[in-house]
Amino acid sequence: MQLALSRFLGFGNTNVIIRQEGWLFYRPGVEFVTGPGLLDATRLRLRKRELIEAGEKRPCPDPRPAIRDFNEQCRKADAHLVVVPVSDKSMLHPAELTSRLSLQGTTAVLTNADCAQFLKDLRADGVDVFDPTPEYLIAGEPPRFLRQDTHWTPQWMETVAHDLSEHVKTIAPLGRESSRSFFVREKQVSRGGDIVDMLQLPPDQRLFPPQSVTLQRVVDSRTGAAWGPNDAADVLLLGDSFSNIYCAADMGWGDAAGFPAQLARFLERDVDVIARNGSGATSTRRELARRATGLGSKRLVVWEFAMRDLVSANWEPVAIPARTTSARAHSVAGSAGPSTVRVEGRVVATSHVPKPLSMPYKDCLTYLKIHVDRVVEGVYRDDILIAVFWGMKDNDLLPAAEYRSGQRLRLRAVPLRKAPLNLQSVRRVDDLDDLNHPPYFVLEEETL
């Protein structure tokens, strides 16, 4: 039925807008442009109520306090923060969205009514904002977004990475002591876009054929190995799917060619990366806070997030440790054994798993706090365990999405860093106010 509606009537669904010549748009991105101002008091009040109803324990609809707070934490840790809000597809492709906005000559970029004031407020508070949004659009210029996907083209992504690296070199000189050399190899990849995935059409559909793109895959000049992140680097990138596309192979658009790889190439140095699909607002900072070293020796922090998240995400302030302290290191290292454990316990707190098909990400991990009643196998020397479950796979909710406080479980789990899967790009929901216990990935679960 969806195929017929899409083919003959041009109808999408609650999250997909179908437009001419096969262009697809993600509805929340369009609503970012057409909806109320992101700083509008009424919108903030209503959004806070929505977050509370959705189960958020600390509803923070206004992004500015969290960004200011993180900027100050970076400053105190002697790290320079650069905030990079990535424009939405609807902002840069208005003519493809509606013929009424056809480009002739040069045209101003459409954006949220309060976007300019938002950026002005941040800059007035000393936040370094690198906004890649062009000043105007020119008829006939190459597309900046994929036709049937929510993400940027490889070419525009590379341009943004290059321009950002030039900006960084002028305000946060990093020195040459950690310089590296990279070269690129071209590679062709083809895939149907993530917006097509959201339509849930039959696998053999031909209405929206795959799009082919050319990647510049980044290779280490010294070793010949494909680029990969280095957690010891003094440059840290916090990002979302705009950072993962072309780098996380499980997204289907190749690897070693995305935003962090190109940033490393243009900066000529290693880059550490924490990038999670749909989680650029808060979850990446939470993961950083869970690191025993915190900001450690980072000298530059790039915080990339989708601009549409300014109106749709929860922007919690997160306390980031500036550097390792003996107390925290002992807590993280001593609270859990190094390998698999089997425990019995009860759920103390849960996170809110989003509804299937409510976003372009089909899989989701959810964090639960478990009070450990008994260690059945292995070593675990604490009474609290942060358990990371699959909450959704292939847009199907799994049992962990329905667990509630008080429920008793038996788990077999391993430290998240040792999970036997590549979880680099998987969306994560972590609503727990506990950043002191290391997370464990659940391999097996059983209700008691």
Gap between the Cα atoms of 443 and 9, Å rounded? 45
- At 404 the three-state DSSP class reads coil
What distance lies between CA 404 and its chain's CA centroid?
26
Pairing of strands 408-415, 439-447: antiparallel
What's the pLDDT score for residue 4? Answer: 81
pLDDT of residue 432: 87
Residues linked to residue 265 through DSSP beta bridges, in sequence order? none
Going along the chain from its start, the domains and CATH numbers come out as 2-324 (no CATH), 336-447 (2.40.50)
DSSP code at position 62: -
pLDDT on residue 293: 85
Q: Which residue in 288, 355, 362 sits closest to 73, CA to CA?
A: 288
**Rounded CA separation 388/309 (Å):** 24
| Amino acid, single-letter form, for residue 360 | P
Cα Rg for the chain, rounded, in angstroms? Answer: 22
Both tokens assigned to 443: 């391999």
Residue 153: the pLDDT is: 98
Tokens for 439, please give them: 């997370």
Task: Please give the pLDDT value at position 323.
Answer: 54
115-124 and 63-76 are packed helices; what angle lies between their axes, rounded to 10 degrees? 30
Please name every residue paired with 366 in a beta bridge, in sequence order, or none if there are none. Answer: 389, 429
Tens-level pLDDT at each residue, the chain (448 residues): 888 878 767 778 889 999 888 899 999 999 999 999 999 999 999 999 999 988 788 899 999 999 999 999 999 999 999 999 999 999 999 989 887 777 777 888 999 999 999 999 999 999 999 999 999 999 889 999 999 999 999 999 999 999 999 999 888 777 766 778 999 999 999 999 999 999 989 988 989 999 999 999 999 999 999 999 999 999 999 999 999 999 999 899 999 999 999 999 999 999 999 999 988 999 999 999 988 888 988 999 999 999 999 999 999 999 987 654 333 333 333 344 458 999 999 999 999 898 887 778 889 999 999 999 999 999 999 999 999 999 999 889 999 999 999 999 999 999 998 888 878 778 888 888 788 888 999 999 999 9
Q: Report DSSP state, residue 314.
A: -
pLDDT of residue 338: 53
Alpha-carbon distances of 138 from 95, 106, 130, 141, rounded to whole Å? 11, 5, 21, 6
pTM score of the predicted model:
0.88
Structure tokens at 85: 């809000």
In one letter, which amino acid is 372? Answer: V
Per the CB < 8 A criterion, the answer to whether 409 and 403 are in contact is yes
Query: What's the half-sphere exposure (Cβ side, CA atoms, 13 Å) at 270?
Result: 12
